[in-house]
Copies of this chain bind each other. A is one copy, B any other.
Amino acid sequence: MKQYLGIDLGASGFKYGVGDSKHGLQHFANIRIRNKSLEELADIFAQILDDTRNMKIAGIGIGCPGTLHMADAKLVGKNPNLPELTGISVKELLPEHLALPIWVENDANLMALAEASLIDPSVVIGITVGSGIGCGIIQDQQIYHGAHGFAAEPGHCIMVPDGELCSCGQKGCLEAYSSVDGIRRRLRDLNSIYHDLNLPDLIFKRKEVKEIDQVITQGEEILIRALANLITVLDPQTVVLGGGAMELGLYSITHIQQQVLQYIPLAHREIVNIALARYKNQAGIMGAILLCERSAG
């Protein structure tokens, strides 16, 4: 079986791995981002290629946050997590004349693709909770792209009319309340001294600091309503929750499973399944490798 290099671009670092969908990853590593400049991002790609130069790979799959043009993988609109990338494709950051095929896809679509491959149902929704809120919709093991390639952006559904300002410029988006950056921004707006804590510390401090607890609790409640609305519209077999914040326990999967039922129609209550991502922090990479395998045919 051919091996591929899967790269998952996050707001804080690039995760990458080499492997295939049957045997998993043979190699896995993570390089942190410091300043998010295009030069730094290109340099990290070069480091990854250097690190994997002795492995026989048949292609590269890249998961990238934000909305991508399907034809050229250029980033459309604002991308608060990697702002320098707007209007360009990550392909342009790789060395020229690289003798390998490269496929690029939205990162949350790839997470959802990987998770759906483990459960094989007809419709799977994957949600990533991290700096932002990502989403992928998988239908019969294929990514649902919508009419223009811009589908699956519930992070920018308006959950609170005229609510908190989101990094996308709109007000009241899911992401403004339920993402880690959203939570930090809300604490900053409350003049909280805890607004620049890292996520593990935020989760730890929540027990003793009321303002942190309130902001995280509201983030969870709004995420629950957003999940319920997605289920009501899409009728998935499974909703998979992943991303760094779900892994660290920012929100309780048990609480989410229970509370979502309150907000969905009777017909949906007994059939929907909500679960944590099984590939954990490797879901994006595994999705990128699956993308390579499918695209290479």
Interface residues of A (CB under 8 A from B): 67, 76-78, 121-123, 135, 137, 145-154, 156-158, 161, 168-170, 221, 225, 228-230, 232-237, 263-268, 271
Contact = CB atoms under 8 A, between A and B. Distances in A.
Contact of A153 (B67, B76, B233): B233
Contacts of A149: 235
Contacts of A266: 76-78, 168-169
B154 A237 contact: no
A157 B77 contact: no
Tallying the copies of this chain within the complex gives 2
A267 B157 contact: no
What is the interface of chain A mostly: helix, strand, loop, or mixed? loop
A286 to B, nearest CB: 22
13 contacts: A77-B267, A147-B237, A148-B267, A148-B268, A149-B235, A150-B267, A150-B271, A151-B233, A151-B235, A153-B265, A154-B229, A168-B265, A170-B263
Nearest to A147: B237
Given A156-B265, A265-B153, A266-B169, A145 B229 contact: no
